[in-house]
Amino acid sequence: MIVGLTGGIGSGKTTVAHFFVELGVPVYNSDEEAKQLMVASKHVKKAIIELLGKKAYKGKKLNKKYISAQIFNDVSLLEKMNEIVHPAVKKDFLAWAKRQKAPYVIQETALIFENSKQDFYDFVILVTAPLSTRIERVIQRDGSSKNDVLNRLQNQLDDKEKIPLSDYVLENIELSKTRLKVEEIHKALLDNS
């Protein structure tokens, strides 16, 4: 069974994913794996350089600030970047999922609903948090400016639009409550597997 774990930037998807890992659930972090593929896959790297130029890389590493500045201020570049990275991540995820020996696996990914990918999953878990909390978290985590965070938020649907499309909604404000909700969802998923 394949479960999607999603939520807007700063909602705490990764924190929730760690709680599932603690329960023995295999979790695939799409953002981290995408960054790996953008460096390790010759095909992906070549396509990114064709799209954004050689400045997209500093030596063998991604130039994340440069890439973010390009794609989050230009919708067509963002779409083209997604057309390069998303198919590579999907292929990698499916190969990874086949190797797992668990009743279900989770793919942690930010843009399930924005990319109309919800039908790919057996269940979707949405992580939410108040907007002000999310902005604060991202500024602290990345050292981003408030403006940068707001620009990135423009590429994501509002939680109000995502909630009716989700199977489970988990509000991530207080960690102890979040952990309990994760355990509750885990039990429900095991019952459905």
pLDDT in tens, 57-91: 999 899 988 998 898 788 899 889 999 999 999 99
Instruction: State pLDDT tens for residues 171-192.
Output: 999 999 999 999 999 999 999 9
**Cβ-count burial of 167 within 10 angstroms (0-12 exposed, 13-18 middle, 19+ buried)?**
middle
Residue 29 confidence class, pLDDT cut points 50, 70, 90 = very high
What is the pLDDT at residue 22?
A: 97
pTM above 0.75, yes or no: yes
